[in-house]
Amino acid sequence: MIKRRIGNSRSLTAIGLGCMGISFTYGPAMEDVDAVSLLHQAVDRGVDHFDTVEMYGLGHSEQMFGKAFNDRRDKGFIATKFGPMFNRETRRRSGVDGSAANAKSTLEQSLRYLQTDHADLWCLHRRDFSRPIEETVSAMADAVKEGSSAALTCLR
């Protein structure tokens, strides 16, 4: 597979696996055993970059990644995101929250689901135009300083 360097990080496969379909959008959520099998097969075929977010399946996607990689964290480069909010009852998007408090709590929840102590790439999935972008970026910088997120962060 073609590899590309991302930031000052290691080289990654040019094609990664987006994990949204594990949990929703393309039909019902995959069974846990099938999701873990899919993730293991991706690694076996050379994929090492995985894109997920807490909102995919309201945590299901990240939980499946945690189950699949809890004993092989070094095999997967994890990109996760935050910002969009979902109503757990209606399962519908309920806005965007780029506050420092939400950034911190969402990252902490993602790390619990992923069963890891850091994200390799952490992105603002959608900008919160109700607050200054500096507030959000400052929260992201704090997470990098604390070691919860790698030095790679991005804004969309």
Report DSSP letters for 65-101, one per residue.
Answer: HHHHHTT-GGG-EEEEEE-EEEETTTTEEEEE---HH
Q: Measured between alpha carbons, how far is 115 from 129 in angstroms, rounded to an integer?
A: 31
113 is catalytic: no
How many other CB atoms sit within 10 Å of the CB of residue 93?
12
State the catalytic residue, choosing from 56, 69, 77, 113: 56
Decide if 13 contacts 2 (C-beta within 8 A). Answer: yes
**Whether the Cβ atoms of residue 47 and residue 16 lie closer than 8 Å to each other:** yes
Residues designated as active site: 56
